[in-house]
Amino acid sequence: MGRIRIAPLLLTVLLAGQLPAQSTQPPAKPLAFEAADIHPSPFSFGEKYFHVAPYTGTRFVAHQATPLDLINSAYKVETDAVTGGPPGLAFDRYDIVARLPPGATEADTPRLLQSLLTDRFKLAVESQTKPLPAYLLTLGKGANKMKPAADTSAPTGCRYHPDSPDAQPPPTVTLNCINVTMAQFADALRDFGQSLDHPVIDRTGLSGAWDFDFIFTWQRGTPDGLTLFDSVDKIGLKLEAGTAPRPAIAITSMADAPTPNVAGIEKVLPPPPLPSFDVAVIRPNKSEYKDVQARVTGSQLTITATELRLVAFAWDSSVKMVFDGPPFFDNQVWEITAKLPVPDVPLTPGARPRIDPDQIRLMMRTLLAERFGLKAHTENRPGLAYTLYTGTPRLKPANPANRASCTDHPSPGEKDPSADNPYLTSYTRCNNVTMDQFAREFQAYSGYIIKSPVLNQTGIQGRYDLTLTFTALHTLESLGIVPNAHGETPTAGGVGGAPGEPAGVPVMLTDAVSKQTGLKLVYEKRPISVLVVDHIEEKPTDN
């Protein structure tokens, strides 16, 4: 049969009632932030991961965001579904403060980020669908333990069961799931604490909404705990690894870095005043543990530490970077019970509160100033810190096809060095990194040995693949081994560093750097940014 041809005039008549009338108005502008301040993330001692502040209705605030994080959020795709892009796509980190346009809601965030990426990172993408790893939620072999929703108009969601203990969080909890579809439940499973590394896809075939209790354990590996696979099985479903067609993004072009901020951005987006707790009670605590311990229960924060460590926490710093504290600074442990402010935009009733750690740190600065009379400032002073020098480098040139990245675990198929030497409790593998990037990542992957930024003085250009394996600080301390004042090898005890040395030998970080890469990591006095305490009282004002 030949192809049917329709006369152009007849085709115009047939489509006349289907096509909208042509408009002389210019196309609507994409939804975009009114102004945005993008700058490299400052050094962080404790919060080096992507996190977004709770929505306020006026500003979007993100910390430690890589361009890949922004793409994931903007296009609602996973990391493994993004291909292409510059080497620093998953490595370079930025803090973003942006003013929302009038009427924007949290649901508009993806579109706003798409506009930001297009404007400031010159991002161009192609949307795709491709088979990728996923977890599949299917019907189990047993009977379905769920019940059709009793009230389909009830607020949907999974909330703490009334009989479940209200702690942060207890090892095993019961959630009361009401009016929840299987697609919603599949999406929620990744939030249940056990770090599923791929999306969960609903393949149950169950339509409608359901009521059920879901019992699960927050932390993987908890003694007598339930894996998510066990928990799902108990309600008559099954969770298993597989593949599924998933949305994907191919980057066709993108700049290495964002365009500069507009002149005077600090006037357009001035920093807001320091936030404060709604109320705070401070009492002495008899604990001998001086470091910071914090927990959030509902809207209440409880934090204990000495003044020195509270100050370091408030400035996201190491205690070694806090100077000129008084003699009593690290003696008394204080317990602070504080009520967190109510979010500007109400949370879903019963949902776990979204906590912004950066906001809590700023609230702690306000509290320390008001109750302990703290006055402090930052400046550059001579201090002890690590510097990376050339030495006799043995570096492997990077594969330019790989993204710049660092991880704390071996790649699939690679042997874990701790299998031969159980004292190798810290592992760092960096791919396609410059020496500046490698130095910048040291603190995060040093097992708490390095307390301040590492300065790159190697002068080495290009990109490299490096692997370091060494003994973490907590393991050294358990063995009674502590780095000396220069961060070098102790004179007593067997210490190794080169691959292939006998099992059971602790490996100091400085030795690992020297023997495994040929570089030199030196603990020396040089100018560093520190927090200087001008004044603080020994006791807080009365509650």
User: Residue 419 and residue 424: Cα distance in Å, rounded?
Assistant: 9
- Dihedral angle over CA of 82, 83, 86, 92, nearest 10: 30
pLDDT the model gives residue 44: 82
Beta-sheet strands, E only, within 286-374: 293-297, 300-306, 322-323, 333-339
User: Which DSSP symbol is given to 346?
Assistant: P
Residues of the chain with pLDDT under 50: 1-23, 167-168, 346-352, 485-494, 502
Closest among 322, 318, 357, 329 to 449, alpha carbons compared: 318
pLDDT the model gives residue 387: 94
pLDDT the model gives residue 233: 93
CB 456 within 8 Å of CB 435? yes
The two tokens of residue 256 are 């290495």
Amino acid present at 405 = S
3-state helix, strand, coil in the chain (%, to 5): 20, 30, 50
CA 468 vs CA 48, 222, 246, 362, 484: distances in Å? 20, 29, 35, 35, 21
Give the bridge partners for 376, in sequence order: 533
CA 400 vs CA 85, 89, 201, 245: distances in Å? 12, 13, 33, 28
- pLDDT tens readout for residues 327-365: 999 999 999 999 988 665 544 444 445 677 888 999 999
pLDDT the model gives residue 353: 53
User: Residue 399 and residue 500: Cα distance in Å, rounded?
Assistant: 25
- Dihedral angle over CA of 251, 246, 66, 220, nearest 10: -160
